[in-house]
Structure 1
Amino acid sequence: MTIAFFDFDGTITRKDTLWEIIRFHKGRAAMYTGMARLLPALLLFKMKQIPAQEMKERVLKYYFGEMTEQEFISGCEKFCQQRLPVLIREQALTAIRNHQQQGHRVVVVTASAQHWVAPWCNTENIGCIGSRMEVKDQYITGNLVGINCNGEEKVARIKQEFDLTQFNEIFAYGDSKGDKPMLALAQHAAYKPFRS
């Protein structure tokens, strides 16, 4: 058996989808207003004074905190239908379909939340492992459940889902430092493979 793991943001997509999902849900004006209010924290994050998970949770809380999960799910599904297709790299989609045609299992492993990646994965018959957003009393809190799915956590989540000894060949595709541990799992690793 063969399995192929794909990072999502920057590998399959041309842009980071966190800001794209915010723009889709809230509109451009609200997105930029929020960025201005979050600017002090964003600058501290750039200077490595705030960890990535804390920064992500601040952003998610600001834009989506206290939104009902059903409203959020509905918006994420529309995002996957209406906005996401134009962000997908054609070369990445071709690589995914080549794997599928050979009978390989294909799984997206992403730091983005499963809420806005899984609907697209489902339409493409791809597995999805991503960061998990906390829901309390049917409302989004903005917190993540567990650790942001990046770096070593990508490997940990993969190993929770799959017994890798069952696969003869492992492929992995990524574009950032956070993908390096996942790439190290594979006999066939491709770094920034779909940039043209």
Structure 2
Amino acid sequence: MKTIYAFDFDGTLTTRDTLIEFIRYARGNSALIMGIIRHLPMLIMMKLRIYPNDKAKQHIFDHFFKGMTVDEFTTICTEFARNSQQLLRPHGIETVKRAIRQECPVVIVSASIDLWVAPFFSDMGATIHNNGQTDSDNNTEAPIIILGTKPEITGGRLTGRFATPNCYGKEKVNRLLALYPHREKYRLIAFGDSRGDKELLTAADESHYKPFRE
């Protein structure tokens, strides 16, 4: 029986939420602060769990990135990853690499936008999973597969909406099972750090909550 490793990204393999850091990198501190102030009531309601996480996130994404060309966005994602390696938890990345050395499938299951998660693992052969198949002809044997929230793109530009459900909570399990449906045929080891990972950790044969805290 093969073993599959599933990792949350933000807070598990990184030291902080990359959405905020990505906005700061792409738009600057002033724009970030003004955007947060503008949406503060909504963000407070989200923290109090009286406003949906996915809707709040989409409003924020729309505010900062609607209308940007996908080429510009992809370039920023690549540059962000290259210049933000300090966000990665060394013990977490070593665990990912060890799983790859053992030839175990590795899946990064993240609520973050897949286009900025993937470049953090480009030197490890990461592949973004795309609408039921990977960019490499549904190659589920790629060293790392990224399952993340996908931005909607129309006419080469970001619409500000998401093309998939926010990859959070139960959706993480849904996405993983869509990729590896025969649950009885593999052992699942999962890593997470927040309530958005609860269902994934519960579904695993072996779970690790808030690991890699050096």
TM-score, L = length of structure 1: 0.94
Matched, 1:192 2:210: yes
Shift of 1:118: 1.5
> Whole-Å Cα distance in 2 between the matches of residues 110 and 89 of structure 1?
16
C-alpha separation between the residues in 2 aligned to 1:95 and 1:167? 22
2:118 aligned residue: 118
Q: After superposition, where does 1:121-136 map in structure 2 within 5 Å?
A: 121-125=121-125, 126-136=144-154
With over 3 angstroms needed to count, the CA separation of the structure-2 counterparts of 1:164 and 1:192, relative to structure 1, is farther
* Matches for 1:17-96 after TM superposition, within 5 Å: 17-83=18-84, 85-96=85-96
Q: CA deviation at 1:127?
A: 1.1
Partner of 1:184, secondary structure, is helix
Amino acid at match of 1:107: V
1:168–1:44 distance in 2 versus 1, CA, 3 Å: closer
Q: Post-superposition shift, 1:146?
A: 2.8
Alignment deviations for residues 77-122 of structure 1 (CA, whole Å, 9 cap, x no partner): 1111112x11000110111111112111111000001011012233
User: Amino acid of the residue matched to residue 113 of structure 1?
Assistant: I
Query: Aligned to 1:135, what secondary structure does the other structure show?
Result: strand
Deviations 1:157-179 (A, max 9, x none): 11111134474422110111111
2:120 and 2:29 map into 1 onto residues whose CA distance is: 23
Structure 1: gaps (5+ residues) = none
> Please, which moves more after superposition, 72-81 or 122-131?
122-131
CA distance in 1, matches of 2:186, 2:62: 42
Greater helix percent: which structure? Answer: 1
Check conservation: 2:110, 2:149, Cα contact below 8 A. Answer: yes
Whether the 8 Å contact between 2:109 and 2:146 is mirrored in structure 1 is: yes
Contact 1:64/1:142 (<8 A) preserved: yes
Q: How does 1:5-20 map to 2 (within 5 A)?
A: 5-20=6-21
Q: Distance between the aligned counterparts of 2:155 and 2:184, measured in 1?
A: 39
Match of 2:191 in 1: 173
- Give yes or no for the alignment of 1:151 onto 2:169: yes
Tell me if structure 2 keeps the 8 A contact 1:2–1:167.
no
Whichever residue aligns with residue 168 of structure 2, its letter is N
- For 1:146, what is the secondary structure of its paired residue? coil
Q: What's the TM-score once normalised by structure 2's chain length?
A: 0.86
* Percent of aligned positions that are identical: 36
SS at match of 2:211: coil
Q: Spell out, residue by residue over 1:132-189, the C-alpha distance to the aligned partner (whole angstroms, 9 max, x if none).
A: 1111111112211231101110011111111344744221101111112111222221
How many residues in Structure 1 have an aligned counterpart in Structure 2? 195
**What is the alpha-carbon root mean square deviation over aligned residues?**
1.4
The residue type equivalent to 1:26 in the other structure is R
**2:78 touches 2:119 (CA, 8 Å); kept in 1?**
yes
Assess if the C-alpha contact under 8 Å between 1:109 and 1:128 holds in 2.
Answer: yes
- Report the equivalent of 2:141: none
- Structure 2 distance, partners of 1:20, 1:87, is 9
CA displacement at 1:17 relative to structure 2: 0.4
Counterpart secondary structure, 2:91: helix
Of 184-193 and 87-96, more deviation after overlay is shown by 184-193
Q: Is the 8 A contact 2:177 2:183 kept in 1?
A: no
